[in-house]
Structures are given as structure tokens and as C-alpha cells.
Amino acid sequence: MKKFAAFLFCGFAASVLAGCATAKINYVKDGFSAPDIVAMLPADNQSNDLTAPRAALGAVASALIGANYFPISTPAQEEILRKLGLTDGGQLNAFKLTDLASKLETDGLVVTRIDEFKKVNIGIYISPTVETTVMLYDNHGEKLWEATSKFTEKKFNLSLQAAIQAGAQELAGDLVGKIFKTSLVRESQIMGGLLAKKMTMNKPSLAYPGPAYQPATPKQVAAK
């Protein structure tokens, strides 16, 4: 009977999955008016994964779009920043944000810090983590808001078969990563989704056009 119970345990609980998803608002300027077009500046990558900015910035841009912003990052912008000597977010302290906004001709700037971007994989235990802190500034260099979003997952494979299946899934994920020339694409997108949800549901909302926006009254509309 004990052997049968053990067999059932292995059959129905071959793996245990636990996830932790959090998003928090660190700062909001009272009554801010959100800029429409915002430039995505190079990420300050605090992780050891050199490909992290590609996945993380893409996820942050998606989150901003979900919150009604219009984030842009073009080859022309990259060339402007390169001529200024800015190629990495870790260099931002050497530049004035007002100058960058003027050079890029945008209403606002998005500064992204990649706090964690890693995956532990030892077969029986797999744990990816993606965490970013995002800051929005207006073209005067004033911080409007700051938010942190984190997604981490812990998977314990309790049988050889589950470990093999997990390995196959990881290989598939690595293939996707190679296509996009980065890793943790799925995890980054989940992290971005959490950020978008927190931005739009927070009180006050961090979404565009910001808490200072006042819709036109019927009288004002008629006057136009």
C-alpha cells in the first residue's frame, strides 16, 4: 500500500511549480501630467546577462503601450546617443536628462534598471527571475514616477521523467531565446504584464495622460 501511495505521488506530482509575481510603485509625483511620446534610454543592466536589455526593454515598452504611452526606440535615436557617448544605461549619471530629451526631441524619457535577470537550472530545480525598475521623467528632467516589477518561478522536478520533460521545455525556450538573441523572453513578458496592470490600476494611475488630466466639459467642447 505504501509503494502504491508512493507511485501515485510520483505520477500525479511529478513536478511542483511555485511562482512569485510582484509589482510596486516606489514614487509618484503629485498631480503629474504624463508625456505622450517617450524615448526608451539604454538600460542600466545590473545582471550578469549581457543579452538582458533586449528582452527587458521590449517587455517594458509593451507595458508602457498597455498604459497608453507611445514609447520609441529607433536606430536614429541610438545613433544620436552613440555620438553623445551614451551606449549603456550605467553611463546616464554623466548626462543631463534635459539635454537628452532635447536631442531626442521627445516629451519624456524612460530609464530602466535591470535589477535581476537570471535562471538557475540544475535539472531537478529550475528557477528563472526577471526584475526591473522603471522610471519616467519629463523633458525637464523631473521624475514623474518609479515602479518595480518582478517575476520569479521555482520548479522542482520530483521524477526523472519530469526532469527530462523540463529539460526539453528549457531547450525549446533557449531556441526562442536564440531567435530573439536574448533569454527569458516569456518571463520578461510576464514581468511587463504585471507592470502594465499595476500602472493602470494604481491610485493615482500611472497611465497616460496622468492624474492632472481634466477631460473637456461639454461647454468647452461646444466652444471649439
Identify the DSSP state of 215. Answer: P
DSSP state of 42: P
What does the pLDDT read at residue 222?
Answer: 56
pLDDT at 13: 41
3-class SS of residue 204: coil
pLDDT value of residue 207: 96
Q: What count of Cα atoms within 13 Å lies in the side-chain half-sphere of residue 184?
A: 33
Residues of the chain under the 50 pLDDT cut = 1-14, 159-160, 162-164, 166-168, 170-173, 175-177, 179, 221
Question: CB under 8 Å to 202, separation ≥6 — which residues?
Answer: 25, 28
- The pLDDT value given to residue 212: 86
Determine the Cα–Cα distance for residues 13 and 17; give it in Å rounded to an integer.
10
Q: How far apart are CA 23 and CA 18, in angstroms?
A: 17
Q: What is the pLDDT of residue 159?
A: 45
Q: Read off the pTM.
A: 0.81
Q: How far apart are CA 201 and CA 13, in angstroms?
A: 36
- Which residues does 193 contact at the CB level (< 8 Å), separation at least 6? 62, 63, 66
DSSP state at residue 209: T
Assign a CATH topology to domain 15-201. Answer: Rossmann fold (3.40.50)
Domain locations along the chain: 15-201
